[in-house]
Structure formats: structure tokens, C-alpha cells
Copies of this chain bind each other. A is one copy, B any other.
Amino acid sequence: MELSSWCGKEAIIGYLGPHGTYSEEVAFRLYNKDQVSFKTYSSIDMAIKAVESGEVSQGIVPVENSLEGSVNVTLDILAHEVNLYIRKEVIWPVRHNLLVKEHWDDVKIIVSHPQALAQCRHNLRRLYPDAELRAMNSTADAATLVASGVENYAAVGSQSAGALYNLQTMAGDIQDSSTNCTRFIVLGDSPIDTHSLSDPCKTSVVCKMNGERPGSLCEILQEFSRRNVNLTRIESRPARTGMGNYIFFFDMDGSMENNSVRSAVEAVKEKSLWFKSFGSYPICTL
């Protein structure tokens, strides 16, 4: 990824740590370790705000999982707390493993990030019907705990977390769905120059419409459909102004260089009470 333009300073890439997270796997695949340095953050919140403050040049955070849906904290901070742009989207296939310090006869407690546990819920219930599933802050925290040697504990995590923490794989590929993917986004403080974009690419916006009137979302959607702009995703999140008030995120195929996309986005902006663009960006499948 091109980072040479970043103010002449050394490029620093931020992501959700500690070491061994899926975010780290993505960071190491996207960037050359000889050209950038990396910095881990203990929450998605902090990783995003480090881009806003200029502490890092770009940040990598998860935004959606094909089974579990949106990563709400990412959407909420992008909408309400920072002014950042999406510079790349990465689709990452998720492969979970049950990691142990030694092969216990009886696995009693299974620890991981709540979303990783949710993604293996059926398989874990089938394999270990009596085990308790316990939430932790990250898959890497879970691996650290299991690596400390507590008896009858197991962690759900990546192969690289297993290797990093010297754990054995008691069961591999325990994710419930073989099509399970996570979408990560790379965030920066400026949008990509759309002239440089080639397909496939996407454009993302968020807006708040007048929800008092029936049909206001429908009118917004018509701006896309009448121009044949394909929405790849619509996600509602609380507007934070009380129950029943929402903002809507729209992802669409194509960049702002495309006349239909640009005209639809301008019409939506015109009809919105509040509007924000995250820019246009390339899609990358690893």
C-alpha cells in the first residue's frame, strides 16, 4: 500500500492488538515490515482515534463479519466521533481453532472474544456440550490466559495466535460456516484520489433522514435504484438521540468518478438532515 505521501514522516500502521489478533494478520499481509512500523491498540476505539489524532498514518479495523454482522463500535465511532476516510477494504476468510496448553480430557471453560465464540457456537456446543463459553476482550487475551496453563481451559483463536503463544490445536476449523469472512477497512485522514481508482471499488456514506415521515428511507433508496446504482449494504444504527431514531450506512458499487454514483450521492446528501461521506476505495481479497 502506498504510504510515501504521508507527510514525509515514517508511516505507522495502527491496529487492534495484542499480538496474534486477526487484525494483525491482515496488517502483516497488507504492509511490508521493512517499510512501515506497527502499533497495537487495546480497543477498536483507540485504534481509530489514533488515526484521527495523527499518532498513526493509517489504521486497520474490522467493520463486518459475514455471520455476525456489523462491528458496531467501528460504525458508531466513524459516524459520531471522527472525520476519517476509508482507503481500502479487505475481505479476510475467518478460520478459528480451539487452542490448548495441553490436550485436556475435559474442556470446561472456552474463552475468546464474544464474536469469535459466536462464530463457533454450534460446533462448540456439539463438541463440548458442557463447556462454559466465557467472553474476553480479544482472541489474543484468551490465548494468553490459556498459555498461562490454567487447567481445562481452551481458547478460540487463529493459527498465528496458537504459534505465538506456544499452544496446541485441539480442533481446527471450528467456525460454523466455511464461507465465514470478516471485512476490514483501512482508515486515513484524507480520501483517496478517485482518479487513481480502478474496479472493483466501492463508495460509502452515512446519513440521517427525517424519520417522522413514512417512506423517507424509501425516497432515499429510489435515488440509488433509479440510477441503477447497486447498494451492497444498508445498515441502520442508533442516531443516539433516543429510541427509534436511526442513521443509515450505505455501501455501493463504484467510485465517485462514476456519474451515476456521484449524482445519487449528491441527491441523497440533499435529502438528508445529516450526511457524511467516507470516500471511494478499492476492494482487496487476500
Using a CB–CB distance below 8 Å, which chain A residues touch chain B?
Answer: 42-43, 45, 64-69, 72-73, 91, 114, 118, 121, 132-137, 177, 179, 181, 183, 214-215, 217-218, 221-222, 224-226, 228-238, 240-244, 246
Q: How far is the CA of A181 from the CA of B242 in the complex (A)?
A: 8
How many monomers of this protein are in the complex? 2
Closest 3 CB pairs of A and B: A215-B225, A218-B221, A66-B243
Nearest-neighbour CB distance to chain B for A26, whole angstroms, equals: 15
Interface centre among A135, A226, A229, A241 (most CB of B within 10 A): A135
Q: How far is the CA of A56 from the CA of B135 in the complex (A)?
A: 26
Given contacts A135-B136, A221-B221, A238-B69, contact A231 B243 (CB under 8 A): no
Q: How far is the CA of A228 from the CA of B65 in the complex (A)?
A: 34
Report 26 cross-chain contacts, Cβ distance below 8 Å, ordered by A residue: A45-B121, A66-B240, A66-B242, A67-B238, A67-B240, A69-B72, A69-B237, A91-B243, A114-B114, A133-B137, A135-B136, A177-B240, A179-B241, A181-B243, A214-B229, A214-B230, A215-B224, A215-B226, A217-B221, A218-B218, A221-B221, A232-B244, A234-B234, A234-B236, A234-B246, A235-B236
- Beyond the given A214-B231, A218-B221, please list 9 additional residue pairs across the A-B interface where CB-CB is below 8 A: A66-B240, A67-B240, A69-B72, A114-B135, A215-B221, A215-B225, A217-B221, A217-B234, A236-B236
Q: Is the CB–CB distance between B134 and A137 below 8 Å?
A: yes
Q: How far is the CA of A218 from the CA of B229 in the complex (A)?
A: 12
Which residues from chain B contact A73 at a C-beta distance below 8 Å?
A: 118
Give the residue name and chain of the B residue nearest to A176 (CB).
B240
Please report whether the interface of chain A is mostly helix, strand, loop or mixed according to DSSP.
mixed
Which residues from chain B contact A237 at a C-beta distance below 8 Å?
A: 69
Give the residue name and chain of the B residue nearest to A115 (CB).
B72
Nearest-neighbour CB distance to chain B for A77, whole angstroms, equals: 10
Which residues from chain B contact A179 at a C-beta distance below 8 Å?
A: 241-243
Which residues from chain B contact A64 at a C-beta distance below 8 Å?
A: 243
Which residues from chain B contact A132 at a C-beta distance below 8 Å?
A: 42
Which residues from chain B contact A246 at a C-beta distance below 8 Å?
A: 233-234
Q: How far is the CA of A114 from the CA of B148 in the complex (A)?
A: 24
Q: How far is the CA of A246 from the CA of B69 in the complex (A)?
A: 9
Q: How far is the CA of A233 from the CA of B183 in the complex (A)?
A: 25
Interface centre among A72, A91, A232 (most CB of B within 10 A): A72
Nearest-neighbour CB distance to chain B for A142, whole angstroms, equals: 11
